[in-house]
Chain A
Amino acid sequence: MMLDLREYSCLGAALRAALDRWPNEICLIEADRDRENSRLTYTQFKQAALPVARSLQDAGLKSGSRAAIIMTNQSKWLISAYAIFYDGGILVPLDYKLTAAEQIALLAHSAVEFLIVEYHLWRAIAQLPESKSLHSLKRILVTEAPAKAELFGAQRWEEAGSSDEPNFVNRERTDPACIVYSSGTGGRPKGCVLTHGNYLEQCMALTALFPFWPGVRYLSILPTNHAIDFMVGFIGPFTCGATVVHLRTLRPEYIRDAFTRYHITYMSLVPLVLKNLEKGLRQRFSDLPPGKKRALDFMIRLNRALTKNHPRPKLSRLLLRDVHKAFGGELRALFTGGAFTEPSTLQFFYDLGIPVANGYGCTEAGTAITLNDFKPFRADTVGKPLPGMELKILNPGEDKVGEVAVRSKTVMSHYLDDPDQTADVLQNGWLHTGDLGHLDSDGHLHLVGRKKNMIVTEEGKNIYPEDIENVFEGLPVKEFCIFAANYIWPKRTMIGEQLIMVVHLDDPAPGTPAHSETPKNIRDEISARNRTLANYKRISGIIRWGHDFPRTAALKIKRNVLAEQIRDSLTPNHVEQA
């Protein structure tokens, strides 16, 4: 059984206990394409990590020292993180997908003294003049540097060993464990200071809903620096004796192989990837001979009926044997969140006996705030608050919608060096998320958007652009989004607010000006969909935009950035009547 995390004051202590509790269980499998790079037991993990911990201690890493990791998902990521926690350090996990300049900015902002980084990423950083400003760095360890590579002042991770035993440094629950830079759809990244207590509480809450145990295999493809994977792809499995599978390549064919080769139990994925997965499966189903297709449809309907109240994995695997075989035969659930997931997608997978737990959270709240628990399955919500989470809706309108606020032991301590931003979001112990939603009678949270991009009708009704977007899903355009017109061109008035749609078309004809009129067929489609909405929710204008929408690393539209771009180049006169 998993450790009782109430007994531990810090992540280092909990992980240390885990390594001793399950010495012979496999904790990590690292695969690269169709090769297996490594497979480590908990004992072997300890043997790999302690020399690194000692080496860092010898270089000066002590209680409260900040150490960053920039790596793709792999064994060395977790080994390095454990070494840092063992020494009492504060981990700063950075996103390997950021540009070198962005990584330098965050390294400077967090004033890290130690950096453990994949060679090619360090090479890109070190070659920028800005890297000279990283004065706080005392020691850089690079992984997998080629034999004769220029190391730019770093040392090889593989040589950073010491046979001397490192000293374990205990930390308190209130001490910072990590500084995690959040990526939201508005504004610059902020350094969320999350404590050991935050993580231990979050781990207990999540594993209460979705338990891990020895033999469970989690496929880790979301970046481990991100809150989700750090928890369900590291801390959660490790404190329960489970296995984490890393893939050094994210080619879809190898992800498919990994399911069957390693009999994956859980995986997290962003909604966009889930949607792609659905598309692929639907295509394969439609390619079946008619008889087989009918049989499959029947089994899917039967499975849906028999799992109405809760998932029944064994039954689903029996009814839909071939589908589950393609997923390795042991898949219990997929996790998703971070952006809107279409209910039809969630239902599609649930009907196949592959429940997708749709959740909601933010780094500031320590990962997940709400999560669907399938009791019963709901495709239309982001679930109920996790154990230990208090959730309230601030200043609800007539529609009961207001800003979601959270109070919990998992909520961050503060934003690094930013008391103003901290005071904006942490008020009287409550985290103001900036997201809008309402709770239904079953206690499920429905998200309807973010706080600032909205309109209020003359009748006092709050209208949220993201809510309207659902109606227009599937438009024959490359991408679109809806704004409150006042969000793009702010006016000091609370009346006459309108919604407008910004469309970016597929492949305009050569020579077409970027902001020319929207083609008639698309306008007609928009118009038809618009008419299905209540009058006060309809969009009143369309803007044709000729560039890709700016997006975050998690592929969410950066609405404030897009709004600014539009504001800088267009005026309300460019808006076509919808």
Chain B
Amino acid sequence: MPTLADTTEQILNLAAQHFKVPRETLSADDDFFKKLDINSLQALELLTRLENHFHVELPDYELQGVTDFRTLAERIQSRL
């Protein structure tokens, strides 16, 4: 099973790919709404992509109040 650090790194890579930004511009504690300039609907699209990648199902409410990649990684990690 991947470590939390692995999971976080994978999320950052996928987010960079999905929103077409350089990977090196993203870090774990970034507010992804601000950093990626996305709205909640776009965040849900990313969530779907992450679910497919990690083979987990994450209810919408897991994203509620979550704004940084690190916390998102923790939510996903807890379901691996």
Contact = CB atoms under 8 A, between A and B. Distances in A.
A97 interface: yes
B48 A248 contact: no
A276 B45 CA distance: 14
B22 interface: no
Nearest to A247: B60
19 contacts: A72-B60, A72-B61, A96-B61, A96-B64, A97-B64, A118-B61, A248-B59, A249-B59, A250-B60, A251-B44, A251-B48, A251-B60, A252-B41, A253-B48, A273-B41, A276-B41, A478-B37, A506-B37, A548-B34
Contacts, number: 34
Contacts of A249: 44, 59-60
Contacts of B61: 72, 96, 118, 120-121
A121 B64 CA distance: 10
Contact of B65 (A99, A253, A478): A99
A252 B59 contact: no
A99 B44 CA distance: 19
Interface SS of B by simple majority: helix
Contacts of B39: 272
A164 interface: no
Contacts of B45: 251-252
Nearest to B64: A97
A272 B57 CA distance: 27
A507 interface: yes
A541 B18 CA distance: 38
Contacts of B41: 250, 252, 273, 276
Shortest Cβ-Cβ A-B pairs, 8 listed: A251-B44, A249-B60, A120-B61, A251-B48, A252-B41, A250-B60, A506-B37, A276-B41
B60 A507 contact: no
B40 to A, nearest CB: 9
A248 B34 CA distance: 26
Contacts of A97: 64
B45 to A, nearest CB: 7
Contacts of B47: 251
Nearest to B44: A251
B55 to A, nearest CB: 14
Nearest to A100: B65
Interface in A359-409: none
Contacts of A276: 41
Contacts of B57: 33
